[in-house]
Amino acid sequence: MIGLFNDCFPPIMDGVSVTTQNYAYWLNRKGEDVCVITPSANASSYDDTPYPVYRYVSMPIPKRKPYRMGFPYIDLPFYKQISNIPFTLMHAHCPFSSGELAMRIAHSRNVPVVATFHSKYRADFDRVIPSKLIVDLIIKRIVNFYNRADEVWIPQASVEETLREYGYKGKVEVVDNGNDFAGTFSETERNAFRQELGIDENTPLFLYVGQHILEKNLDFLLHAVALLKSMPFRMFFIGTGYASDELKELSKKLDISDRINFLGCITDRNILRKYYMAADLFLFPSLYDNAPLVVREAAALHTPSVLIDGSTAAAVIKDRTNGFLTGNSKEAFAGKIQLILKDKPLLEKVSLNASETLARPWKDIADEVSDRYASLIKRYHHQ
């Protein structure tokens, strides 16, 4: 049994949650015995899956809605439930409660551990902890977690720089994220959904999908699109987070609230797919993200992204080829959008290139992952 451990899973949605979900689904489809271990989240309807999901007691994390803090060691029914599972490999997708649980079980049962480094954790702690010393100690503990893994994976090569900055000196393996929207674009469906939304072809539609947190530069984004008020446009924000209300108020202050729609969290992937497909540009100015899955999801549906040049998230983007890069100012960001919209042939070319270069199906990723798991298990038991 392969155990996939992560601190969030649907209905809590982010890139790592979607990644864990697709690992489980496609590995199960391949015939692998796989299960998910994650904190509780009022999720009974989301656990009706072809693979088992085991949840342990948790509570909301202050100032980090909708995320939850898990307490697996005090949840005796849960602990009893998983005590007899014959794990052959543990894959931890985060270094906190679920990851530490994976590490503890693996070391007690002598099975290998894969740990994937997905996120820039320091930024999260810097926001809520005023002491640099305490943040440094937490980061040291995170590095120690990855040092205890048998393999450390990263979702794109540029993420290695962040992990090295934290102090990790071991080996890393690049294992791409996949995309469940690859190959599903339909021009007819796109036009029909835009019509349903009341958006004509002369009105540019912008999209952001992800956590509504200030670390993702969303106040910057609103100020940038506010500079475009002289032109018609619409924009949808999909997701939730501690800054949702603040961002709504800012859109009012900037006098663009009639152009901006905050749709909340959309867990139905088919509905989310339609919004990606309907958009002209995916706007993602984050300096916080490592390898955002949303950029690849948008690309799969022929919607290229606008990112800030030099950001880790932008490492897979070549300007004017499979996406667009801009300077780190609201004027530069807005100016880039205006230039893109004036060159329709370029936008069409980049849209197609984005879908061809950034969207690998999850099925292909699962094939690679399954082979990597098998190789690690074999090597681990022949040491």
Superfamily of domain covering 2-178+361-380 = Glycogen Phosphorylase B; (3.40.50.2000)
Which CATH architecture fits 187-358? 3-Layer(aba) Sandwich (3.40)
Question: Tens of pLDDT along 262-277?
Answer: 999 998 999 999 999 9
CA 93 to chain centre: 12
Q: What is the pTM of this model?
A: 0.93
Strand duo 58-60 + 68-70: pairing: antiparallel
Domain ranges for the chain: 2-178+361-380, 187-358
Q: Which residues of the chain have pLDDT under 70?
A: 43-45, 383
Tell me, what's the pLDDT at 43?
A: 63
Tell me, what's the pLDDT at 66?
A: 86
Question: Alpha-carbon distance 14 to 211, whole Å?
Answer: 7
Whether cis (ω within 30° of 0) applies to the bond prior to 112 is no
Same fold, 2-178+361-380 and 187-358: yes
Question: Alpha-carbon distance 165 to 290, whole Å?
Answer: 13
Tell me, what's the pLDDT at 128?
A: 87
In which order are the strands placed within the sheet that holds 281-283?
260-264, 234-238, 205-209, 281-283, 305-308, 324-326
Tell me, what's the pLDDT at 45?
A: 67
